[in-house]
Chains A and B, each alone.
Chain A
Amino acid sequence: MLTKLTGGTIYDPANGIAGQQHDIYIQDGRIVNPPTADQAIDQEYNLQGKVVMSGAIDMHTHIGGGKGNIARMLMPEDHRADPVARTHICRSGCGHAMPSTFITGYRYAEMGYTSCFEPAILPINARQAHMEMADIPIIDKGGYVMLGSDDYLLRMLTAKKDQQAINDYVAWTIQAAKAIGVKVVNPGGINAFKFNQRKLDLDEQNNHYGVTPREILHVLATAVKAIGVSHPLHVHGCNLGVPGNMHTTLDTIQGMAGLPMHLTHIQFHSYGTEGDFKFSSGAAQIAEAINKNKNITIDVGQVLFGQTVTASGDNMRQHANHKHANPNKWVTMDIECDAGCGVVPFKYKDQNFVNALQWAIGLETFLLVDDPWRIFLTTDHPNGAPFTSYPHLIRLLMDKSFRNDMLATLHPEAQKMTTLASIDREYSLNEIAIMTRAGAAKLIGLKDRGGLSAGNWADITVYTEHSNRELMFTKPDYVFKDGTLVVLNGSVVATPWGTTHTIKPNYDASVEKELQSYFDRYLTMKLGNFKMSDDEITEDGRGHITVHPLAGDVA
């Protein structure tokens, strides 16, 4: 079947197209070159006056894995306020802060998103992450596997194993967990918390192993690059949420000596200690450092006001934050000599000084970082806000007067502590397309996604231009997933299943020798039972796996 999308205004930064009008053709799920005159068009959509982008990609959203399910179980009252009834094509479920899996898929698709990446897959919890994501319809998914607080790596560092051995272990773990990237959360800190350490600065030693976060970051970033992972090491840094942590963040950026590194939800790591409340914005200095250091990419983790729940692997910091729990209930877990998690409900309030300033710090970061190819639009769903608030966030970025009107309603002391009102920048549609499409696909290393040239998979979102960008981005006219129309006028009309994006970096098979004896001696599962096999994702007939080329490979 040949489909023609006629006359739309195209924003396709992957191909340098910013607002030109041209037609797009779809066949067998992919975008194809214009057909010859004798080929019949089976279906045509008139997109005159419409804005066309590739399907959006959320490169950091907690959609699959144990902590998210704990967050769901913890908050029945939040679900009760947002029940979602079944329809003739959609399953029932619930929404708001941590929606059920089916509703996650529908609501992402309804906003024009076609791929989402879970950033914190604990190796031992990889099965659950993939099983949950297997129950998210329509969108593609994938994830970054978490290392850095696992006892195996820390033992390797204490034993001064060489970088090659670490590279093999990292590559092996990526394959065992079916991941596309590697994340580190509070490097070594989750582990240190198990030894009753309550904070861990960049150069502070783990009491048991004598290893510092800086060393962990360095060996992991080196490994990620060496084994050909496109996505730079995904870093949730030290001292999340601690006033003054901007200095740790700046130090982290400087300390990487040019190695590629992605600093995630940087808003939570951009705090100073100035002012009457000893809490201030470090966004300007952080943005300056990012502008200077081209090896660094970031996503923001914007805070937006209202009820949400924070779910993180960083149980050290989540435990410290539990006193802010609202409602007052929270969970932490130590997990399998592998990692941990902490789940703390939050209600961000615009009349709370800290929350209001967090909001402003996130927006300052968006507006002060020059290069939209190195910054990504996230709320760290659900930690800063549920993903369903993205259209509102896009309006804040694209509409200065709206932004300033909002700012004027916030806690007055917070208004005094931000330069936001003086920043004139407004994001363009093309910059939004870079942040949420082309840039994200490039960052993760997705082949044939995030662009609209022939050969790409036909993940396409069509919007009606509207001066209110929140309305525009809330309800696309059409969303196509692999060429299938899945959303019409903001509602799901078809529910296909997306693919799981992975990579398969090489490792020396002898890596399993030591792992085997470690598993037998200390862990609770046999090595052979730990590794996920492809058929665990594909055997139900719905899921499939896409293996992307490694960085440096000829595609």
Chain B
Amino acid sequence: MIEFNDVPSPFCGIGTDDLSIQVDGLSLKVLTNGCSVNTPLFEHPITDTEARVKGQPVCLEDAIAAAAALLRSSQQALFGGCATDVNGMRALLSLADNTGAFLENLNFAGARNNFLALQDSGWMNTTLAEVKNRCDVLLIIGTDLEQFAPRFFERYLWTDAMFLPDSSQRQIIYLGKAPSGQAATSPTGKAPRIIDCAPEDLPEVLAVLRALVKKQPIRAEQVANLAIADLSTLAEQLSTAKYGVVTWLAGAFDKAHGELSVQMLSEMIKDLNANTRCSGLPLSGKEGDQTANQVCGWTTGYPARLSFNQGYPEYDPFLYDSTQLLANNEVDTLVWVHAFNATALPPVTKLPTLVIGRSGMQFDTEPEVYIPVGTPGIDHTGHAYRMDNVVAIRLKKLRDSGLPSTADVLHRIQLAL
């Protein structure tokens, strides 16, 4: 048995890197600093190490050959999932470039709300250490933060802060969603302020909030059943904060005006910065989304919803939606890559499918080729991005499972082509 300390997690998105994990052969046990997101994903057992072709166990070499044959006979492949580490994404992009494929990270539909706002007007954002040391007012929009990241409050708010005399006095405000637990209540018992409304009302509420921040006159007394006076107090809290932070989960917004909500918030933050400091903090970093977008960004110039069909990368946040591509029969082969989560299965399709997935995937319909791979940060070293865009974490190897990495498998498929 070996014990690893200061283990970083590629799963939770908030870059926890203080886990202690006990390794006994191939089985892992989180000893300290686990949470409901990280612990199951670290402890998930290895149940299969052999690749399969048409459901039959084969050696890795034969599986690679079958995968290459599948791609060779394909006119137009789609790479879905795209949930892996930096080296895995590098190999995936190389193969997609080589085969003229479509490519999409599985969280793109939500992330699109952020990218559309970013690419239209931009934003002012911050990172987790700034939140921890500077944030005196945290506004959480439309999401249950402790469900997204159970240790967020413990690690980044109810902790020592360089520039706050008493970090337990930070003001926490939920707008558009109430928290499911008590994590947002400070150690001294200070409860968060909750301004609840329906998700579909958020765009309107945010528009009014921005107007109030800009001191525009509002004649109505209510918006979406909320008293304008309550929103006025919130606007005042943000305006008088020394370092306010506004956080949101792009995928949690109502579909109709998701990108406009992100834009409304980002422009409100810019307005606040005319006089004080305030920053955005988009939540992400799960299922390899931030990693996929970063590596796609430097390799192609675009985020992770792309086509290489013309021989060069093209980005269309709407047209290259994998759900649509599959529904419209615009692709003839699906390659599903997910090295983090054995329960993240490919979409249901009749198309021939190659799955490069975390060991233990249970399929309703067996794919043509399944190659189990190691998990970055457990079975091999690697790099992954956490939610705040700037920080890549170095992942450790904790056990010797013999499972190949995503990058290994994709390289070998490319060589076999």
Most chain B CB inside 10 Å of its own CB: which residue of A193, A319, A334: A334
**Interface residue? B338 (CB, 8 A):** no
**Interface residue? B294 (CB, 8 A):** yes
Partner of B392, one of A131, A135, A328, A333: A131
B114 to chain A: closest residue by CB? A73
Complex interface bits, B220-242 against A, C-beta within 8 A gives 1, otherwise 0: 00000000000000000000001
**Interface residue? A549 (CB, 8 A):** no
Q: Which residues of A contact B393 (CB under 8 A)?
A: 525, 529
Q: Which residues of A contact B156 (CB under 8 A)?
A: 524
B124 to chain A: closest residue by CB? A332
Segment at the B interface, from A81-89, A164-172, A253-261, A383-391:
A81-89
**Interface residue? A337 (CB, 8 A):** yes
Closest chain A CB from B290 CB (angstroms)? 11
- Asked whether, in the complex, the Cβ of B124 is within 8 Å of the Cβ of A333, the reply is yes
Most chain B CB inside 10 Å of its own CB: which residue of A92, A124, A330: A92
B160 to chain A: closest residue by CB? A521
CB interface residues, B 118-161, toward A, < 8 Å:
118-130, 132-134, 155-156, 160-161
- Asked whether, in the complex, the Cβ of A525 is within 8 Å of the Cβ of B312, the reply is no
- Asked whether, in the complex, the Cβ of B160 is within 8 Å of the Cβ of A522, the reply is yes
Given A76-B302, A100-B300, A525 contacting B15 (CB threshold 8 A): yes
Given A76-B302, A333-B126, A127 contacting B394 (CB threshold 8 A): yes
Complex interface bits, A276-308 against B, C-beta within 8 A gives 1, otherwise 0: 000000000000000000000000000000000
**Interface residue? B76 (CB, 8 A):** no
**Interface residue? B26 (CB, 8 A):** no
Q: Which residues of A contact B132 (CB under 8 A)?
A: 522, 524
Report Cα–Cα, A536/B129, bound state, in Å.
24
Report Cα–Cα, A533/B15, bound state, in Å.
19
Q: Which residues of A contact B294 (CB under 8 A)?
A: 69, 128
**Interface residue? B391 (CB, 8 A):** yes
- Asked whether, in the complex, the Cβ of B15 is within 8 Å of the Cβ of A331, the reply is no
**Interface residue? A74 (CB, 8 A):** yes
CB interface residues, B 253-280, toward A, < 8 Å:
273, 276-277, 279
Segment at the A interface, from B53-61, B86-94, B177-185, B202-210:
B86-94
**Interface residue? A403 (CB, 8 A):** no
Q: Which residues of A contact B90 (CB under 8 A)?
A: 135
Q: Which residues of A contact B130 (CB under 8 A)?
A: 194, 334-337
B395 to chain A: closest residue by CB? A529
Closest chain B CB from A319 CB (angstroms)? 7
Partner of B391, one of A73, A74, A98, A525: A525
**Interface residue? A91 (CB, 8 A):** yes
Segment at the A interface, from B43-51, B303-311, B361-369:
B303-311
**Interface residue? B11 (CB, 8 A):** no
Report Cα–Cα, A79/B313, bound state, in Å.
10
- Asked whether, in the complex, the Cβ of B312 is within 8 Å of the Cβ of A122, the reply is no
Q: Which residues of A contact B301 (CB under 8 A)?
A: 72, 76, 79, 93-94, 98-100
Given A92-B313, A329-B121, A337-B129, A69 contacting B298 (CB threshold 8 A): yes
**Interface residue? B351 (CB, 8 A):** no
Q: Which residues of A contact B124 (CB under 8 A)?
A: 319, 331-333
Partner of B312, one of A92, A193, A328: A92
Interface residues on B, range: 35 or more
Closest chain A CB from B82 CB (angstroms)? 16
CB interface residues, A 512-535, toward B, < 8 Å:
521-526, 528-529, 532-533, 535
**Interface residue? B162 (CB, 8 A):** yes
- Asked whether, in the complex, the Cβ of B312 is within 8 Å of the Cβ of A86, the reply is yes
Q: Which residues of A contact B383 (CB under 8 A)?
A: 127, 131, 536
- Asked whether, in the complex, the Cβ of B17 is within 8 Å of the Cβ of A128, the reply is no
Closest chain B CB from A259 CB (angstroms)? 30
Closest chain B CB from A284 CB (angstroms)? 37
- Asked whether, in the complex, the Cβ of A93 is within 8 Å of the Cβ of B119, the reply is no
**Interface residue? B80 (CB, 8 A):** no
- Asked whether, in the complex, the Cβ of B122 is within 8 Å of the Cβ of A74, the reply is yes
Closest chain B CB from A158 CB (angstroms)? 12
Report Cα–Cα, A79/B296, bound state, in Å.
13
**Majority SS at the chain B contact face:** mixed
- Asked whether, in the complex, the Cβ of A79 is within 8 Å of the Cβ of B163, the reply is no
**Interface residue? A422 (CB, 8 A):** no
Report Cα–Cα, A100/B303, bound state, in Å.
12
- Asked whether, in the complex, the Cβ of A128 is within 8 Å of the Cβ of B381, the reply is no
- Asked whether, in the complex, the Cβ of A329 is within 8 Å of the Cβ of B162, the reply is no
Report Cα–Cα, A335/B130, bound state, in Å.
7
- Asked whether, in the complex, the Cβ of A83 is within 8 Å of the Cβ of B312, the reply is yes
**Interface residue? A108 (CB, 8 A):** no
- Asked whether, in the complex, the Cβ of B17 is within 8 Å of the Cβ of A336, the reply is no
Report Cα–Cα, A131/B123, bound state, in Å.
25
Complex interface bits, B95-119 against A, C-beta within 8 A gives 1, otherwise 0: 0011000000000000000010011
Given A131-B86, A329-B122, A336-B128, A93 contacting B312 (CB threshold 8 A): yes
**Interface residue? B174 (CB, 8 A):** no
Closest chain A CB from B250 CB (angstroms)? 14
**Interface residue? B390 (CB, 8 A):** yes
A208 to chain B: closest residue by CB? B163
**Interface residue? B332 (CB, 8 A):** no
**Interface residue? A539 (CB, 8 A):** yes
- Asked whether, in the complex, the Cβ of A100 is within 8 Å of the Cβ of B298, the reply is yes
**Interface residue? B27 (CB, 8 A):** no
- Asked whether, in the complex, the Cβ of B390 is within 8 Å of the Cβ of A128, the reply is yes
- Asked whether, in the complex, the Cβ of B391 is within 8 Å of the Cβ of A331, the reply is no
Report Cα–Cα, A135/B389, bound state, in Å.
18
- Asked whether, in the complex, the Cβ of B300 is within 8 Å of the Cβ of A93, the reply is yes
Q: Which residues of B contact A127 (CB under 8 A)?
A: 383, 392, 394
Given A66-B390, A329-B119, A336-B391, A529 contacting B308 (CB threshold 8 A): no
**Interface residue? A465 (CB, 8 A):** no
**Interface residue? B187 (CB, 8 A):** no
Given A127-B383, A522-B132, A524-B156, A94 contacting B394 (CB threshold 8 A): no
Closest chain B CB from A105 CB (angstroms)? 12
Interface pairs (28), CB distance under 8 Å: A66-B389, A73-B293, A73-B303, A76-B119, A79-B301, A83-B310, A84-B312, A85-B312, A86-B97, A86-B98, A86-B308, A91-B299, A92-B312, A93-B299, A93-B312, A100-B313, A101-B298, A127-B392, A131-B383, A332-B125, A333-B390, A334-B279, A336-B130, A336-B390, A524-B132, A526-B17, A526-B18, A529-B17
The 9 closest A-B pairs by CB, nearest first: A85-B311, A79-B301, A94-B301, A329-B122, A83-B312, A336-B129, A127-B392, A92-B312, A330-B122
Residues of B within 8 A of A (CB): 6, 8, 15, 17-18, 86-87, 90, 94, 97-98, 115, 118-130, 132-134, 155-156, 160-163, 242-243, 273, 276-277, 279, 293-294, 297-303, 308, 310-315, 381, 383, 389-394
Residues of A within 8 A of B (CB): 66, 68-70, 72-76, 79-80, 83-86, 91-94, 98-102, 122, 124-125, 127-128, 131-132, 135, 151, 193-196, 208, 319, 325, 328-338, 343, 521-526, 528-529, 532-533, 535-536, 539-540
- 12 more contacts with CB within 8 A, not counting A83-B312, A196-B242, are A68-B298, A74-B119, A76-B119, A83-B310, A92-B308, A101-B299, A102-B299, A128-B390, A194-B130, A325-B122, A329-B121, A333-B279
